[in-house]
Structure 1
């Protein structure tokens, strides 16, 4: 790996954060700066924690810590999306939730790989 951009989990997290951004703009105006802002921040935090962890990859425990933060942000984002799904009729939301389920599994698997195989 030459860059965090070589990580599949980063590329998916980036793509999904863009999708969440666009979906959040379909919410009612009064929610754009409340729940809309929160779901956008949590979606972007997933990718940002992957980047920060990669930046600390020479320190195995730091890398794992930021991958864990990324997983936690993903769960927050998913929870926000589930609330949005219940409150508003935005057809793309269920598909985005499913995508985050897959990304969560990939982050978990990558974290396990780092725990077992990463050399510091």
Structure 2
């Protein structure tokens, strides 16, 4: 893996940002915009994925980064659950739901693989070497 100076360069962060942006488009273009509770939850969850990747990167150590990647993964699972509620409430059609659900699962898989990589990497951050 290459050396990264910024969390914005990480592929997993780029994917999280993409998912968060797609959530925002759904909020803006469907009746979800009127379901304040679910709208706020899915917006916060998708943003939390990005934020936890960034925070973990900023901590400077693999163990802490892995911890925050786990939190990001949990937030991504929340997004999947909230997408199901969007489907159930008619804010998404089945085709849109399945495509977005698959993208979200891909992000969960990326987070898991990246975390596993860090666990077994010889390269360490400046904390918890």
Match of 2:48 in 1: 45
Structure showing greater radius of gyration is: 2
How far apart are the structure 2 equivalents of 1:28 and 1:75?
19
Pairing 1:35–2:41 present: no
Aligned 8 A contact 2:20 2:47 in 1: yes
Q: 1:29 to 1:7 in 2, by over 3 A?
A: closer
Aligned 8 A contact 1:49 1:66 in 2: yes
1:111 is displaced (CA, Å) by: 0.2
Runs of at least 4 residues off by over 3 Å = none
Q: How large is the RMSD of aligned CA atoms in angstroms? A: 1.4
How far apart are the structure 1 equivalents of 2:66 and 2:74?
12
Task: State the secondary structure of the residue aligned to 1:34.
Answer: helix
How far apart are the structure 1 equivalents of 2:105 and 2:54?
20
Q: TM-score, normalised by structure 1?
A: 0.91
Pairing 1:19–2:22 present: yes
